[in-house]
Structure 1
C-alpha cells in the first residue's frame, strides 16, 4: 500500500482519499451508526422498563406482606 502512495502529495493521502471514501461509503456509515444508536436506545428503554417492573413488584410484595 505504501508503494501506491509513495510519489503522491500529502493531500492525496490525507484529504482526497478519505473524502472519496466518505462519498462512496457515506450512506453505509450513516446507516450502521443509526442502527447502533437505535439499538442502544432500545437497550436503555428495556433496562428502564425491567427496572421499573422489578421496583413495582417489590413494592407491591412488601406492602401486601405487611
Structure 2
C-alpha cells in the first residue's frame, strides 16, 4: 500500500509539472481513482479497522528457506 501511495505522489508531481501535457490533470484523476479502489480492496483483505490493526498472516511456506539457499 505504501508503494501505491508513493507511486501516486510521483505521478501527481509529473502530471502537474510545468512541462506536463494539458491532459495530464485527467490522467492524475484516473490514477487517483484507480489507487483508491486498490487501497480499499487491499485494506478490506487485511480486515483492519480504524480501531484495530491485524498483523498480516504469513503462510509457513513463505518463510521456509530451501536447503540450497541456506546451505543445509
Q: TM-score, normalised by structure 2?
A: 0.36
Look at both structures and tell me which one has the larger radius of gyration over its CA atoms. 1
- Structure having the larger proportion of residues in helix: 1
Q: TM-score, normalised by structure 1?
A: 0.39
Tell me which of the two structures has the higher relative contact order, counting C-alpha pairs closer than 8 angstroms and 6 or more residues apart. Answer: 2
